[in-house]
């Protein structure tokens, strides 16, 4: 009962704590003292923006050569991890495909959300306080240094000039990572113009969870002044500017991130961007029990970030990729001691969740991948390993329970001696002291029987928080389960959970426990576990169910040993004695 209360308190209490401590939504972000409101620049769609006025007339007016393409073109850059399509209109990205990840239709995942980008802007567009300049720069037809396919390592430069306004964007691509480097310089009449390079409109996978923004969250991540922090969507103000230093800053959703890593952290500035998008018309429900779109509007926050430099031209690296531990650890800020690993957070149970997942990942890579490739089998093997490690503690727990049962008559006699005193009477303290001394003299630990629960319950809680956050399990399926991060669509595992948990309670001897309390727990714990897993990630139900099966098998074997037989005999004897006492009173 105590462990069940602890579990409920942790799961619900942390949610309540976050709700109370999170800053209330307002037009001013939490760090408003360091923010200056900026008016957002209008988004530009590469396919629909109007063609600028003829450049020759503008060039003649300023005496500066015009540099402008005559037609739209596309340049594709790729390596083994991504394929990026640049449009020369605005020198911005229209497609950013991650080759190793799929969307809900089984196609390579495009990290650009088409509806959001069309409304709010495309990646690597420019953001500035002057809406006229922003519109001109994002609508202009730049001249690219290459128009054909490029394979990393490669460099791609876009140039534009209308006589007075000039812009140069240069991107350098690494052949083996998700990181590219960007250099941006904009001048007007020869004077530098303060612009920011932006990722303005979230990610292409933000319609996968139909349960709403609480589940499909997005946030602004930043590493600033030596510490990492995140700001949730409800606390983000559109067009709020933050001054540096920034080791890195960007936007993230549950599985992917677009993070700027400035070459000059001390002079970096960041602007937070926020819009809302109704995804009810095009949302996917695969893996959540229904393929039909919602009947009501479903508005999700679309966050973005833009990075600039108070010292002049922008020079920054940009990571755009999965929030995988191994990937994030390999990407470093200008200060090589700082990596992007903090971007992947597991919450309060972070250390336990992290190493639990690393163990699961090792099993998947070295055991199950060789004969199945399914993460479901990796969860089963991990559960088996954990229960084998816990088995000695189960045996020790039975020994402790047996010792407790042997001295139970003496404990009952002590309680009988003090039963005439009220609970508040100081004499009750003497009773507790006598009982503790009796247990000490007989080598009994009052916590000995709790050791298995003290190990398994934190692991279950850690699994609870880890499963929805690891990109490796994204859309992972197992037999009838289309997504181990989504609830079981047929509720087979939760029902099996209830039955197996009941058998665990039935087969586990509880000497010294009141029979009525034991019966109550035999029903309450199964119903509780079924409730937890009914609408939660099926991977948790799989882990818990397999653990129950292993526990039943272990307990069945242990019950046939001399230790198990003695415990059952003593429990039966105690039950008969209590029954006869009750009958005598009647």
**Residue 130 and residue 270 in one domain:** yes
Across 17-21, 387-391, 411-415, least confident range: 17-21
Query: pLDDT tens-digit profile of 428-475?
Result: 888 888 888 888 888 777 666 676 777 788 888 888 889 988 999 998
Q: Are residues 281 and 373 located together in one domain of the fold? A: no
Residue 567's pLDDT is: 72
Token couple for 367: 């055991």
Is residue 422 in some structural domain?
Answer: no
Here the tokens at position 447 are 């916590």
The secondary structure of residue 339, as a DSSP letter, is: B
How far apart (Å, rounded) are the C-alpha atoms in residues 501 and 528? 10
Residue 248 lies in a domain: yes
Q: What mean pLDDT do residues 162-176 have?
A: 93
First to last CA, the chain: 30
> Under DSSP, is residue 200 helix (H, G, I), strand (E, B) or coil?
coil
Q: Evaluate whether residue 22 is within a structural domain.
A: no
Same structural domain, 336 and 201: yes
Q: Do residue 52 and residue 102 come from a single domain?
A: yes
The answer to whether residues 299 and 377 belong to one domain is: no
Q: Which residue segment(s) compose the domain that 388 sits in?
A: 361-407+442-585
Global pTM reads: 0.80
Residue 15: inside a domain: no
Residue 195 pLDDT > 60, yes or no?
Answer: yes
Measure the CA dihedral 567/568/570/574, to 10°: 130
Among 90-94, 407-411, 473-477, 519-523, where is mean pLDDT lowest? 519-523
Report if residue 421 sits inside a domain: no
DSSP letter for each residue of 354-377: HHHHHHHHHHHHHTGGGTT--HHH
Same domain, 365 and 225: no
Residues 6+ apart with CB under 8 A from 88: 69, 72, 73, 74, 75, 141, 142, 143, 144, 158
Please tell me the predicted confidence (pLDDT) of residue 50. 37
Does residue 367 sit in the same domain as residue 341?
no
Number of domains in the chain: 2
Do 140 and 280 have their domain in common? yes
- Alpha carbons within 13 A on the beta-carbon side of 511: 26
The CA-atom distances, in angstroms, between 394 and each of 23, 458, 511, 513, 569 are 45, 16, 15, 17, 19
Within-domain flag for 351: no
Confirm whether 354 is domain-assigned. no
Per-residue pLDDT, averaged over 309-335, amounts to: 95
Q: What is the mean pLDDT of residues 539-560?
A: 88
Q: Which residue has the higher pLDDT, 53 or 114?
A: 114
Q: Do both 312 and 212 map to the same domain? A: yes
pLDDT of res. 63: 56
The token pair at 371 is 């004969």
**pLDDT bucket at 505, cuts 50 / 70 / 90:** confident
- Tokens read off for 520: 């109550």
Which of 297, 234, 275, 231 shows the shortest CA–CA distance to 113? 275
How far apart (Å, rounded) are the C-alpha atoms in residues 113 and 75? 19
Rounded average pLDDT over 180-195: 93
Give, in order, the Cα–Cα distances in Å from 313 to each of 43, 183, 245, 262, 441.
22, 7, 16, 11, 77
Where is the domain boundary, 295, 311, 345? 345
| Whether 254 and 379 share a structural domain | no
Q: Does residue 41 register a pLDDT over 60? A: no
CB atoms within 10 A of CB 584: 7
Average pLDDT over residues 74-91: 97
Q: Are residues 337 and 387 in the same domain?
A: no
Rounded Cα gap, residues 436 and 432, in angstroms: 6
Closest CA to 467 of 480, 453, 481: 481
Does the pLDDT of residue 503 top 90, yes or no? no
The residue among 43 and 216 whose pLDDT is bigger is 216
Give the CATH number of the domain where residue 126 resides.
2.70.98.90
Which one is predicted more confidently, 438 or 512?
Answer: 438
pLDDT band at 90 (very low <50, low <70, confident <90, very high): very high
Does residue 18 belong to any structural domain of this protein?
A: no
* Mean of pLDDT values over 535-562: 88
Identify the domain boundary among 345, 369, 388: 345
Are residue 193 and residue 227 in the same domain, yes or no? yes
140: pLDDT confidence band, cut at 50, 70 and 90?
A: very high
Task: Report the range of poorest mean pLDDT among 5-19, 27-41, 98-112, 202-216.
Answer: 27-41
**Residue where a domain terminates, one of 321, 345, 369:** 345
Helix orientation angle between 451-466 and 538-559, rounded to the nearest 10 degrees: 160
């Amino acid at each position: 009962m105590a462990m069940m209360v602890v579990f409920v308190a942790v799961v619900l209490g942390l949610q309540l704590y976050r709700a109370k401590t999170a800053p209330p939504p307002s037009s001013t972000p939490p760090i408003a003292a360091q923010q200056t409101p900026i008016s957002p620049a209008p988004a530009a769609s590469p396919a629909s923006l109007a063609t600028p006025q003829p450049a020759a007339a503008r060039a003649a007016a300023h005496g500066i050569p015009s540099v402008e393409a005559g037609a739209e073109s596309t340049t594709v850059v790729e390596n083994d991890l991504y394929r990026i399509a640049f449009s020369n209109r605005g020198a911005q990205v229209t497609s950013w495909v991650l080759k190793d990840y799929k969307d809900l239709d089984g196609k390579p995942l495009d990290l650009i959300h088409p509806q959001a980008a069309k409304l709010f802007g495309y990646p690597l567009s420019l953001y500035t306080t002057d809406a006229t300049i922003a519109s001109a720069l994002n609508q202009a037809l730049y001249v690219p240094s290459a128009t054909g396919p490029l394979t990393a390592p490669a460099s791609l430069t876009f140039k534009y000039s209308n006589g007075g306004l000039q812009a140069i964007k240069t991107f350098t691509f690494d052949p083996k990572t998700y990181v590219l480097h960007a250099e941006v310089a904009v001048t007007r009449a020869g004077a530098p113009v303060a612009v920011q390079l932006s990722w303005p409109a979230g990610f292409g996978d933000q319609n996968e969870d139909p349960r709403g923004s609480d589940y499909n969250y997005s946030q602004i991540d930043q590493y600033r002044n030596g510490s990492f922090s995140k700001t949730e969507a409800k606390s983000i103000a559109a067009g709020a500017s933050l001054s540096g230093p920034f080791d890195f800053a960007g936007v993230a959703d549950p599985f992917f991130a677009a993070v700027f890593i400035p070459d000059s952290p001390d002079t970096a500035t960041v602007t937070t961007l926020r819009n809302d998008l109704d995804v009810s018309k095009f949302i996917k429900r695969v893996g959540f029990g229904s393929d039909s779109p919602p009947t009501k509007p479903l508005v999700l926050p679309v966050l973005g970030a833009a990075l600039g430099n108070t010292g002049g031209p922008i020079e920054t690296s940009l990571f755009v990729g999965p929030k995988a531990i191994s990937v994030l650890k390999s990407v470093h800020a200008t200060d090589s001691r700082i990596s992007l690993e903090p971007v992947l957070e597991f919450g309060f149970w972070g250390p336990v969740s992290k190493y639990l997942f690393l163990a699961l990942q090792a099993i998947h890579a070295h055991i199950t991948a060789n004969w199945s490739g399914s993460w479901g089998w990796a969860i089963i093997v991990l559960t088996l390993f954990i229960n084998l490690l816990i088995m000695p503690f189960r045996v020790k727990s039975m020994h402790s329970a047996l010792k407790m049962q042997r001295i139970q008559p003496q404990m009952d006699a002590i309680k009988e001696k003090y039963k005439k005193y009220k609970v508040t009477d100081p004499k009750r303290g003497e009773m507790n002291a006598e009982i503790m001394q009796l247990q000490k003299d007989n080598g009994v630990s009052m916590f000995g029987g709790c050791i298995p629960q003290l190990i398994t319950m934190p692991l279950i809680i850690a699994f609870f928080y880890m499963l929805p956050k690891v990109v490796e399990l994204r859309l992972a399926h197992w037999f009838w389960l289309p997504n181990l991060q989504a609830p079981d669509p047929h509720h087979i595992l939760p029902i099996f959970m209830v039955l197996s948990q009941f058998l665990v309670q039935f087969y586990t001897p509880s000497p010294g426990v009141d029979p009525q309390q034991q019966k109550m727990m035999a029903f309450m714990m199964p119903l509780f576990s079924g409730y937890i897993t009914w609408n939660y990630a099926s991977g948790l139900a799989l882990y818990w169910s397999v653990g129950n099966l292993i526990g039943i098998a272990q307990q069945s074997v242990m019950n046939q040993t001399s230790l198990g037989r003695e415990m059952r005999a003593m429990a039966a004897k105690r039950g008969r004695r209590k029954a006869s006492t009750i009958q005598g009173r009647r």
